[in-house]
Structure 1
Amino acid sequence: MIERTDAGHSAGRYHDDAPFAEERHRYLRHCAERGATPASLRVKCSGLLWIASRLSPAASEGIDIKALQQIAIERQQALGSAAAAQRVVHIGRPWLRFLGWWREPTVVSRYRSQLEEYVRWMRDERGFTPSTVEQWTRVIGRFLRWCEETDRQLRSLQPEDVDAYFVARARQWSRVSVANIASALRGFLRYAAERGMCIERVAASISRPQLYQQERLPYAPDGSDVQRILADAETDKPREIRDRAILLLLAVCGMRSGEVAALRLDQIDWAGGTLRLFRLKRRQPQIYPLVPSAAEALARYIDTARPLSADPQVFLCMQALVGR
């Protein structure tokens, strides 16, 4: 079973005994088939267990955002974490949509017929995927509701109005979200212009921010991740003794990877507890403190794990290179 955890068969049986087991298994299989990682599935499994245990037996008749938010509040109170509450919504809403149990709030909009017409066009004429149709419908619906709330008419909409929308809402969005929302609005407004619902230059005025490959990756590992990595390297194996010294120079002393790779024995002042580094911008040596934890790891590597060599560089390959 996908929901079975490292705790063994007893955990799997507990999961099977919890409410809505078949619905949870079916959704997790669906996520796995779409490429969800084991770590992601474990997070979804935990969230679904919490949600399922708090749904009524009549949940198939429909769950709205208010009911799901109430479950999220209970999660936050239990764990003392706002992030845990957000995960309940992020995990629960796709699951309920997958089951057909999700109920969107009914909002009467003056642009309802135009939006429904555009949804049919995306689905039937352009062949957009169901997930894209669903996502763009939400994005465009929010924009049209904002137009109503701010008394803006679609037929007289100007590029400045779209700019005002992004200024009002962009603080809530990441760059990737801004790019996706810009694409959705540009597509809808281009469609609307072709049918005389707004002027042409509104869609042309919308440009996506430049996105870069792997920009979703975190700028740096979290502090807890750094501690876990350092703990994993704290062994008596020569390679990991070396790796721990390198990691501490990077994480604690703030050295750059190139500086660590080029570090020489004569740059270390053991008595003074300092490192003498050369940085191109200053074009002269700079003295930096050698933190005791890094000094201890560095000394242990040099004394016990560094291969015997006349090479002045501190960090060497653990095996001699051919021809050297």
Structure 2
Amino acid sequence: MFEKLLSSATALRRHQDAPLAAERERYLQHCSDTGATYWSMRIKCNELLWAARLLDGDARNGLDMDGLEALADRRVAFQNAGTTRRRFINITRPWLRFLGWWNEPAVPCKFQDKLDLYCLWMRDERGFTNSTIVGWRCRVRDFLIWCDAGNRELQLLQPSDIDAYFIDDLAHPWGRRTVATVAALLKNFLRFAASQSWCHSQLADAIRGPRIYAQGSLPYAPDWRDVQKLLACTVFDAPQDIRARAILMLLSIYGMRATEVATLRLDQVDWQQHVIRIFRLKRRQPQVYPLLPSVAEALARYIDIVRPSTPYPEIFIGLHSPRRPLTRAAIYKIVSSKFLELGIKVVHRGPHALRHACATRLVADGLTLKEIGDHLGHRSTEATRTYAKVDFTALREVGDFDLGELL
């Protein structure tokens, strides 16, 4: 890799003879494989040479942020340009992390071993998806940190302690529905904890979340005219607009979830048969949809013009190095930024809002709840019933019903 980046024999020899040459070259190859540009790798190559010379023999045992800051101070002493310090840290830290020499800062949690066992149980025994495990883990970890901060032991927990956690407004300003969700997952965790003899067996049964009335709220869908504005603002030739247009179409036309978009692969689009196979998370099986010409055009334009060359099979890749598949959070950021850019005021401005907009549009077009549920990949009609509340045509028919002489 050094030979590809350095044309001078003197410079090549200087890099090859410096400490940690193999480690630096291996990382540069990794950067190349993940889509780093030539000039960005030239900068990395030169900065890593400084890092290799400044590191001591204990670097293999791990380096934290304080140690890296100290190295940056020594680096600045040689060349005190405006961006030297930030560039050195931003390049050296990923390299150390790649080598396994970086000590990630972490909020200490004395219940970490129990939390890890709970996550393994969710994965191996319950078969939860990774996204569900991550979400539940964060909620339970917050609760365990709260217990630790108050010197509360799991074996001594009482129902009054659980009540104190939920009414602690400083720890979490939650709404009614969030409280109900957290109560349900804490009950799940405490039942597992009781099976491991970590807490009292009846503690979980003492948790009572607030009652959530079925169909008690309206779907938070933006108006379809706002969805059309979102699509209209992505008709330009900028790479981020070309990618955003394809993502917005998948979310609003097929009602895909953010994770379904992030994990969509190249082999799921059949250009010859004009179909797209979407793996629906809740049904845990693929569904086949017609590949609409407008969606096909948007996807083809992104893949042919914008998508970088990468070994990843996922369709949507980051535009900057390291070029990796987009995450669910990245999909949210793309959609949210478009709502903010256009000044569209909605209750929620994430990908799920476009899924609701898709469902509301199908209701307006006269599709049945069964057809809408099938389109959205719902497992049962219960999840689709909420959209009956926005079927204004049917609601007007009910409102105009004349009892006549029956009164």
TM range (shorter): 0.3 to 0.5
- What is the TM-score with the length of structure 2 in the denominator? 0.34
Structure number with bigger Rg: 1
Q: Greater RCO between the two (CA within 8 Å, min separation 6)?
A: 2
- What is the TM-score with the length of structure 1 in the denominator? 0.41
